[in-house]
Structure 1
Amino acid sequence: MYKNPYIHRWVIVGTMVIAIVCNYLDRQLLSILKPEILGHFNIGDIEFAWILNVFLICYAVMYPVSGILVDKFGPKPVMFGGIAAWSLACIGGGLSQDVYQFAVCRGILGLAEPTIFTGQLVAVTLWFEKRTRATANSICQAGGSIGTMCAPLAVAWMVRYFPWQDVFIIAGVAGLIIAGIWWIVYRRPRQEFLAVTLGEPKGTTLRDTRSFSVGALFGTSALWGVLLIRLVSDPVWYFINFWLPGFLRDLGVEQGLGVQETLDMIQYIGGIPFLVGATCGVLASAYSDKLVAKGWNALKSRKAVMSLSACVAPVIALVPLLSHWHSVSFTLRLGLITAVFAIVAFMCLVWLYNIGVVIAETFPVKNVATVAGIACGAGAVGAACFNLVVGSLMATMGEYLFYCMGFLHPIATIVLLRLVKPAEPQQEKCGTYSIASDKNNDNDVCGLDAAPN
């Protein structure tokens, strides 16, 4: 397969999609099985929010670390270790004897999961040129939506035949199998292929490419821009992932539906927003690639698509109004709420699919995972803080919470347009080492010297 890199790179993408599907399935288990877990451990929404935050805090802390590890050691070993670790954590969640053990396992899950996303972005950057990079990245990222969409179907089916603990164990075993497949499939692209994907002269190795030191990155406005974008916009996506299935089940309970009826409802409609969001998100990313092929500046095309999608953000404010609209049938209310979440999921995924490509086209390749890790860690911190508000307001539907979420992506758009600009270090020589001089920083710093696997 490796003899034809143009075919092999899609095999790599397919493997990463499967891994990310598994990642989101493991993540969604907590939300879908919320009633069973809360009943088993005898806890409420506030405690549930804190369990989510154990995951998110660990997730946020590990994201920058995983980015640095990927830039130093490459995507192959780091992603393998991450997939294996989160799978074992999922198995541990099913074996937990009390809520504290369960929370620890969710924390380990949070520590392991960032590796797949920082590693995936570097793999796509190395294997795909600019005119196809957004499409490839969006297909990988769509694995999250596929996992979120399939999770209600798979989990609702499994929980009919197995205890909820066994569902966690089954998901973890599947992840261990995927870790082994990744180790077999991934290969480092050859130098002549890197000349195509990175636009470097033939014979240039990754050791020769320019880069910032970690400290110098913080002197660039682009890093602060992507950090603020994730901090502001990520809470909306985390809300949809963590709270939507439970929110829909609670809506069914208010209508008088039983436990099995609410599971059936989630099974059939819970994945619709993610299916619509993933499909439209991939199409929007492909359109940005089409603009690049027509001669648009790559960064400008990503910004245009992201900015346009943010225009639909305020529709999320309709959710509390629709949930209290008792003069219409429950089926109509449920359909309208699902449609609103589908629109919002589309917007969130356009941003998530393209912000990684923005990073890849703004920073040197040897800094891509580090920047992505720092930015995504900020997003997880924002989501954790936001989550506390969600936990305290969900009992009353949290009208103001939805109104607030409607403004987050427009704010992120302003940051995107004003702060995110190409960050190019100046290259000099210092003995046998490459020197990267940040244009926004007068101090010269030695560039990173490791080549990703």
Structure 2
Amino acid sequence: MTQAPPADTGAAPAKKMPRKAWFIIGLLMALLVLNYFDRQTLSILKPIMKDELAFDDEAYSLLTFAFMLPYIVMYVVSGRLIDRFGTRICMTLFAVGWSVANIASGLSHSFSHLAASRVLMGAAEPGAFPVVQRAILNWVPIERRALAISIATPAGNIGAILAPPLIAVLATAIDWRAAFVIPGAIGIVIAILWWFTDTRHTPPAQPIADAAPTLPEPVDEGDASIRGLMRDKRFWSIIAARMLSDPVWYFYLFWIPGYLQERAGLSLSELGVVGGLPFIAAVLACMVLGRIVDRFTERGHDSIRVQLWIFALTAALMPLGALITMTSSVAVAIIIITIVVVVCQGWFVGYYVLLAGLFPARVNASAVGILGAVGASTALVFNLFAGSILAHFDYVALFTGLAVLHPLSAVILIVVIGRSRRKRSAHA
């Protein structure tokens, strides 16, 4: 890898993370933990709730559709709301919204009531991720952003780690409804704490305008910034990559708990023991990858090129996913699932690192919202038909098709963004 010019790498000593920034990151992590915990509850309790509320796998596909359609719309809308009104009020409203929806899911006594609660949850949950991006840009010095993003963004995996055992305990010790209601109440409390914590509207270390390179053409606040973003080929390459790669993550999130119970033969309590292992590995791997990017950046390397290398190397592992149904060993299947989950989460962190390094902070929340929406759109279509594909072709077709999507995405990113970095170095 070649070194970027001194002006781009910032040779000044790295700034320390402000104490308040650590507390903000901690709250962001707590909210993302609940965000993922709450959305996992239905997939984990799917076998129980199918009997309780009388629905099948194709109806379950409709529930994922009910969640993801408003999720897509609100991903775009939430990014613009955050850029307009800030992270304090937006995160508070989002967290209260999905917590109320989770409580409503637990109080549902019919399929239609459950579907309505999933609509509300889908509308509230996506806003958390643009908030994370903007809050980190607001609070964290530029030399520590890759690390901060790699710590906060995959924190949702902790929710996925905690979900199987805690949901199993709540469902068996109390009732399956308690697995929805209790976390929902906790979410409302943490949302209130966020409101009283995120009170600063300007970053403590440097002005937002200096937080990232400008777009190829001058941009102004408001619509001009978004127009400039949408004219950038690099952003379109990230859009294309998200459209291809996101369905992998959403499928594993929504369908793997049911697969392990219904096809691999795990009980709910056994799933509680092993179901969190892929997400534990993902959290650790993301922190390591984020630190690697920061270390290379501190040594004068181009962080964007480093991230592209990480995309290429991790994408090469994804074809292993096609082997999940070909093994009779539950342990081997879980190892492969773990690898896929780690790569998916590493890519989500990588996308945010690209956005922070390529585009101005004032459009980052909107950029995260747009990317989340387009990725969730293809995931919505895929999950809508997943039940029918499963009925006609079984899991083999699903796992095989998903195994090639990250390698294709890596090619797009390397060709477009890698070429732009080479041209940039040549003209420097």
Task: Provide TM-score, normalisation by structure 2.
Answer: 0.88
Within 1, Cα distance between the matches of 2:374 and 2:208?
32
Report the alpha carbon displacement of residue 420 of structure 1 after superposing the two structures with TM: 3.7
The answer for the alignment partner of 1:96 in structure 2 is 108
Instruction: Tell me which of 318, 332, 335 is aligned to 2:331.
Output: 335
Report the alpha carbon displacement of residue 230 of structure 1 after superposing the two structures with TM: 1.2
Within 2, Cα distance between the matches of 1:101 and 1:421?
48
The answer for the alignment partner of 1:416 in structure 2 is 413
Instruction: Tell me which of 384, 393, 418 is aligned to 1:388.
Output: 384
Within 2, Cα distance between the matches of 1:192 and 1:128?
8
Contact residue 125 and residue 197 of structure 1 kept, 8 A: no
Please give the secondary structure, in 2, of the residue aligned with 1:96. coil
Report the alpha carbon displacement of residue 400 of structure 1 after superposing the two structures with TM: 2.1
2:398 corresponds to 1:401: yes
Within 2, Cα distance between the matches of 1:48 and 1:66?
26
The answer for the alignment partner of 2:288 in structure 1 is 283
RMSD (CA atoms)? 2.3
Instruction: Tell me which of 90, 93, 111 is aligned to 1:81.
Output: 93
Name the CA shift for 1:108/1:345 in 2 (closer, same or farther; >3 Å).
Answer: same
The answer for the alignment partner of 1:315 in structure 2 is 320
Deviation per residue, 1:307-350 (Å, 9 max, x gap): 2111101100111111xx3xxxxxxx110000001111111111
List aligned pairs for 1:241-390, cutoff 5 A: 241-253=253-265, 262-322=267-327, 325=328, 333-390=329-386
Contact residue 140 and residue 203 of structure 2 kept, 8 A: no
Instruction: Tell me which of 244, 248, 256 is aligned to 1:232.
Output: 244
- Greater displacement, 186-195 / 59-68: 186-195
2:133 corresponds to 1:136: no
Length, aligned pairs only: 399
Within 2, Cα distance between the matches of 1:179 and 1:199?
27
2:162 corresponds to 1:150: yes
List aligned pairs for 1:141-220, cutoff 5 A: 141-188=153-200, 190=202, 193-195=205-207, 198-199=210-211, 212-220=224-232
Name the CA shift for 1:416/1:129 in 2 (closer, same or farther; >3 Å).
Answer: farther
Within 1, Cα distance between the matches of 2:80 and 2:222?
16
Deviation per residue, 1:41-100 (Å, 9 max, x gap): 111000001101110111011101000111111111111100001111111111223111
Matched letter for residue 285 of structure 1:
G
Name the CA shift for 1:190/1:78 in 2 (closer, same or farther; >3 Å).
Answer: closer
Matched letter for residue 155 of structure 2:
G
Contact residue 138 and residue 203 of structure 2 kept, 8 A: no
Within 1, Cα distance between the matches of 2:117 and 2:418?
39
Within 2, Cα distance between the matches of 1:130 and 1:422?
24
Within 2, Cα distance between the matches of 1:108 and 1:114?
11
Within 2, Cα distance between the matches of 1:284 and 1:263?
32
Matched letter for residue 407 of structure 2:
P
Within 2, Cα distance between the matches of 1:334 and 1:26?
26
Within 1, Cα distance between the matches of 2:25 and 2:209?
15
The answer for the alignment partner of 2:13 in structure 1 is none
Report the alpha carbon displacement of residue 301 of structure 1 after superposing the two structures with TM: 1.9
Report the alpha carbon displacement of residue 422 of structure 1 after superposing the two structures with TM: 11
Name the CA shift for 1:210/1:365 in 2 (closer, same or farther; >3 Å).
Answer: farther
2:10 corresponds to 1:10: no
Please give the secondary structure, in 1, of the residue aligned with 2:18. helix
Contact residue 63 and residue 373 of structure 1 kept, 8 A: yes
Return 5+ residue gaps in structure 2 as ranges: 1-15, 213-218, 421-428
Within 2, Cα distance between the matches of 1:406 and 1:165?
35
2:117 corresponds to 1:117: no
Return 5+ residue gaps in structure 1 as ranges: 201-206, 254-260, 326-332, 424-453
Contact residue 362 and residue 422 of structure 1 kept, 8 A: no
- Aligned residues: percent identity? 30
Within 2, Cα distance between the matches of 1:6 and 1:68?
27
Name the CA shift for 1:313/1:197 in 2 (closer, same or farther; >3 Å).
Answer: farther
Report the alpha carbon displacement of residue 371 of structure 1 after superposing the two structures with TM: 1.0
Contact residue 93 and residue 102 of structure 1 kept, 8 A: yes
Task: Provide TM-score, normalisation by structure 1.
Answer: 0.83
Contact residue 82 and residue 112 of structure 1 kept, 8 A: yes
Deviation per residue, 1:393-440 (Å, 9 max, x gap): 3355321221111110011111212334799xxxxxxxxxxxxxxxxx
Contact residue 156 and residue 267 of structure 1 kept, 8 A: yes
Within 1, Cα distance between the matches of 2:224 and 2:416?
18
Matched letter for residue 243 of structure 1:
W
Name the CA shift for 1:344/1:197 in 2 (closer, same or farther; >3 Å).
Answer: farther
